């Protein structure tokens, strides 16, 4: 996993002082291109890793070789743990490694390094949307979590005017490219979609967080509530097996395989209403078969509406020889 390699890369550079991408690739058993990308990722994250061109060059840490992580500055430690931290939410061994590494840091750096590691988690299961760009405001909110300062947030719900509120930042979640911000408010814990946040400013006022708060557990509760609301209706659908992976990717965790039937696979789709299922699958046309009377009625109506709006004659049959 990439977080493993990033940590291993830094430790190798501390031990040797300077490495080339080829040496790193051989040591970590990856390609030269992968090793180079890892070095560039550390540099982009703020870890002082720089290339030195020419004969005898390579990549090195500013200040020369270091023997352990206690040589890192506070900003460098935060940068490293922000890079590796999100992987810990999907790989327990990464979380274990980070816990060991943090003990090598000076006591004054540990709190912010641990906060950086826990500031973001990754949830790879999609909710049927495809948005892969990291929001520009994510970095500022991560810093608010790490620095433990309150945030002034401008938020606009769909169809409503923007509101400004001051919140305690508790963590961020990357939900397969859809980002969420979990915060404490006067009304309790709240979850905000980052694509609806239009402004962020750090106030400098210390924030508070419950002593027993754990980001992964809090997100599990959010997912459970959302899934309950999004899964009130179900329908059985026959999908061509050759298109099953595409269909599953499109519908995320709302698509469950029921039975494989050779050329077709029976799946169960869930959504808040039968109309939502019909809208979600209408684009598949005759490639799929829906086995739910309520959904079938909505599909028939959608089809009739499309025929009415786009009344084009069927293409003429090709002329004979």
pLDDT by residue (tens digit) across 120-172? 665 656 555 544 567 778 889 988 988 899 999 999 988 889 999 999 999 99
Could you say which architecture CATH assigns to the domain 231-309?
2-Layer Sandwich (3.30)
**From the CB of residue 99, how many other CB atoms can be counted at a distance below 10 Å?**
12
Q: Report the SS3 class of residue 154.
A: strand
Instruction: Report pLDDT for 302.
Output: 93
Tokens of 140: 């500022």
CA–CA separation, 164 and 155 (whole Å) = 6
CATH number of 2-117: 1.10.10.10
Cross-strand pairs, 122 = 174
**pLDDT for 64:** 46
Contact status, residue 145 vs residue 173, Cβ threshold 8 Å = no
Domain residue ranges of the chain, discontinuous segments joined by +: 2-117, 122-226, 231-309
Q: In angstroms, rounded to a whole number, what is the distance separating the alpha carbons of residues 151 and 141?
A: 8
Long-range contacts, 224-229 (Cβ 8 Å, 24+): 226/127, 227/253, 229/272
Cβ contact 44:81 at 8 Å: no
For the chain, residues with pLDDT lower than 70 are 1-4, 14-16, 54-56, 62-74, 76-81, 83-110, 114, 116-133, 230, 313-321
């Amino acid at each position: 996993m990439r977080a493993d390699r990033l940590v291993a890369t830094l430790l190798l550079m501390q031990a040797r002082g300077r490495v080339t991408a080829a040496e790193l690739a051989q040591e970590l058993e990856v390609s030269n291109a992968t090793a180079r990308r890892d070095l560039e990722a550390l540099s982009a994250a703020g870890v002082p890793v720089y290339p030195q061109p020419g004969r005898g060059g390579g990549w090195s840490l500013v200040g020369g070789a270091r023997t352990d992580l206690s040589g890192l500055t506070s900003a460098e430690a935060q940068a490293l743990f922000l890079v590796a931290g999100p992987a810990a939410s999907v790989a327990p061994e990464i979380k274990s490694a980070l816990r060991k590494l943090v003990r090598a840091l000076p006591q004054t750096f540990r709190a912010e390094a641990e906060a950086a590691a826990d500031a973001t988690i990754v949830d790879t299961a999609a909710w049927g949307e495809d948005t892969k760009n990291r929001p520009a405001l994510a970095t500022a909110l991560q810093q608010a979590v790490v620095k433990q300062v309150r945030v002034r947030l401008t938020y606009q719900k769909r169809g409503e005017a923007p509101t400004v509120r001051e919140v305690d930042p508790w963590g961020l979640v990357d939900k397969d490219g859809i980002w969420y911000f979990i915060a404490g408010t006067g009304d309790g814990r709240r979850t905000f979609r980052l694509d609806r946040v239009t402004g962020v400013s750090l106030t400098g006022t210390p924030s508070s967080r419950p002593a027993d708060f754990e980001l992964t557990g809090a997100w599990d509760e959010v997912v459970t509530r959302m899934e309950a609301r999004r899964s009130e209706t179900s329908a059985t659908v026959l999908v061509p097996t050759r298109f099953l992976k595409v269909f599953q990717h499109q519908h995320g965790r709302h698509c469950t395989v029921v039975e494989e039937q050779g050329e077709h696979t029976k799946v169960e789709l869930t959504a808040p209403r039968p109309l939502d299922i019909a809208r979600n699958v209408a684009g598949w046309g005759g490639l799929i078969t829906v086995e739910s009377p309520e959904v079938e009625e909505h599909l028939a109506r959608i089809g009739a509406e499309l025929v009415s709006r786009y009344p084009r004659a069927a293409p003429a049959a090709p002329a004979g020889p």
